[in-house]
Structure 1
Amino acid sequence: MEYIFWGSNTPLLTQLRQTLSCRIVECITFQQMKSSLSHIDKIDFCVFKEKDEPEIDIPTIAQLHKLYPSLYIILISTPLSKEEKIPYLKAGVDCMISKDSSKEELHKLLSVISDFKEKEKLKEDNHTHSLAEFKLPLWKRAFDIMASSCAILILSPILIATALAILLESKGNIVYKSKRVGSNYKIFDFYKFRSMYADADKRLAEYKKLNQYTKESEEEELTNSSYAEMPLQLAISDDNAQDILLFSDNLSTSENDYLKTKQTERSNAFFKLENDPRITHVGQFIRKYSIDELPQLFNILKGDMSVVGNRPLPLYEAELLTSDEYVHRFMAPAGLTGLWQVEKRGDAGKMSAEERKQLDIKYAKEFSFGMDMKIILKTFTAFIQKENV
């Protein structure tokens, strides 16, 4: 850490230099302060500010603090009252000392400041590390470009035929675009051949009770959904009660039931319908053979996705997976195919939402070129599904 004296009191500056036995840069004016700090990338300075006129001191200190918030500013003055101290502290002064402070007091203060700066730096480094973004390996990006380009060229007859079939069967866009969340929670336009009628999104709530991953029975869901959505306004308990009651306008429920409902809501983040009535005839065919996924080759070419990765999620699903438990899922590329798609799907051809999430996390932590090649080979034998999902 380096030191600056901000003021025109030369005897006080000399006293500080003798007491601290270190180099202290002298800056008389605010412009000199800015000039001294302007060429420095990392501001790690302690500024001794001589108290002068509050009307001048406070605005300039506030401006300096705004420009360089990491500066540690020490005000040197005679003893001040509480009312006098508050404006200086609000402006950005970190502490105040007397002109008559002893050598021991000054060294102790600067030792505390130095420790504080080190801890702040360590915290900042850890925070930066924790927010480190996933970066796609060069080998994976090169493979994605090569594979998607070749696939688009080879499959162009199928792409054209599918587009014509969709156009002839029902009105609407040939390619369906939706916002999806990929690696690092990046949102992008996700391409698929339209396999549903044009108003499918509006009918989503109508068919939500058919969700393949819903664990609650229809009766429990209808009852508990009122609790999950109600605005809780009051929580009370008595000495004899074993649970806390939560009240809304016209409803009440126990805290345990409410938390259970929210947990179920979280575990049902994935939404999928069996025998979805919103799907067109062409849509049923292209879904069965995964032809509806082919426009994602253009997502791969653009860099939104990779050939192998974790499926990019709709916004309403991704927002439920932002806790530390599931954040690793997004530290991997979004993919056309992935680990859970080629794994055994459990009893009756189904895989629970939790199993899917755990396989996504496993891929994010362990993916390699060899694993990607195995998944691609398995995809060719698994893409014809026995279930209609």
Structure 2
Amino acid sequence: MLFSNQSNQTMLKNVPNPEKKREPQVDNAQFNDQRAPSILLHLDKGAAIALVRNLILCLCDSLLISLGWLTAKWIVISTNFFKSVGSFDLIGSSPEQPGFLFPILAITIGIIAAAGLYSRRDSRRRFLRLISCLTLAQVILIVLAFLYRPGIFLSRSLFILAWIFTVVFVLFGRFLLELAVITVRSKGILTRKIFLIGTPRDTLAAKISLKLISNREFQVVGQIDLSTIEGQKNWPKILEDIQQQDVGEVFVCSWQSIPNPMSFYWNLKTAGINLRVLPVGLELPYQSPQIEMIGRMPTIQFSTPAIMGTDFWLKRGFDLTVAVLLLIFISPILLLIAVLIKLDSPGQIFYKQTRLGLRGRHFKVWKFRTMVINADQLMKELEANNELKGGVLFKMKDDPRITKVGKFLRKYSLDELPQLINVLRGQMSLVGPRPLPLRDVEGFAPHHFARQNVLPGITGLWQVSGRSDIIDFENAFRLDVMYINNWSLLLDFQILWKTVHVVFNRKGAY
């Protein structure tokens, strides 16, 4: 068993009487200890996975950096830009020699590693920092080349082209690698088995967060309810079951409820199982919090709020580019849908409805009409059939107001395509919390208006996490806040990619 002592009281009961002859005892925990002779079978799975992942990432970066320099070298030599002027020497190795890449790779990879871009998952996705590291490496290479051979001519074209190709190749390679990991994990491969410990409410929130943010990276194989007395009495059996299920990490949602937490921690670590503490009840208002220890007290420091400043304009530029390209390519489809709507039922092609946008501003959202003309009047008669809890939103599977063409458009979310016009006008974004009708906003609680701090989106985390299958608005609100607090351009890419998958599978759409 992992636990040999359940509590301090149990430890006192097990103290042998000094007057009696002490019998030799065997600690069963040693068989699950990494310090045992079978250490190779009980290595820390998390550390092993991280080591393999970092080696693969470092190898990919090295290959792409080399490819960038070799491409730049080939262009410079083939065009004979500087053949008549002089040769180039970098730290004793000419580009014509195969060994010239070794110092380049050593310096560049060293700077990337020093910046922490081979560590945690959020650090590996900081592409702006990666560009800065590649630029800094290029500057250092130029300075070293000049100091080592001050009288030699430096091929500026080689450095400029190498920097451009290196940045493009490395960024593209990392993006493809992340996309490949997401695709593989979406099929249930490369999952990490974990165990949840906490109250039912906390473990449910943890399951939702892990499922949405990690792209099925974690597979919950079991959980224990700390609110039951039986759960606290069976620690040895619980911990033994955790190891037998080949669990790599344990997520604790209520650390204060753990009996004898120090012994719990040590038994997990000696068995090669990582421990994570999830502050599920703590709703962080900003993205990228940093934990700093002051003495033995952990403190959380917040960075700049998400989707503000340069983040906003980066997201806005991405929205404009994609929206223009989509409108150009799908214009024949839009025209066909317009004709079908006109033939199916009387009324206008587009439906414009006032909705709540950024900072509570009202705007008209564009959609293809999917309902009969008097749909708004008929909704009052259907309020009793609302299938969403809380009454904030109105959703009904077999809504009699939907037309035949409208049902098809809704099934594949084609009715949302005209909202690309709202994106061009700056009223919406491609990804963000969905803009809600004024009827739904009337049921908002004060904390629900936090979702209006960003531009509403055509799709969002809520839509790719079940869409209409999520029948509790409070859960949908949590997903919107989760997106706002954890925004990144990569997250937008992931949600757009998932949107295509969800739409074609017609999951939760009606």
What TM-score comes out, normalization by structure 1 length?
Answer: 0.50
User: Which has the higher Rg, Structure 1 or Structure 2?
Assistant: 1
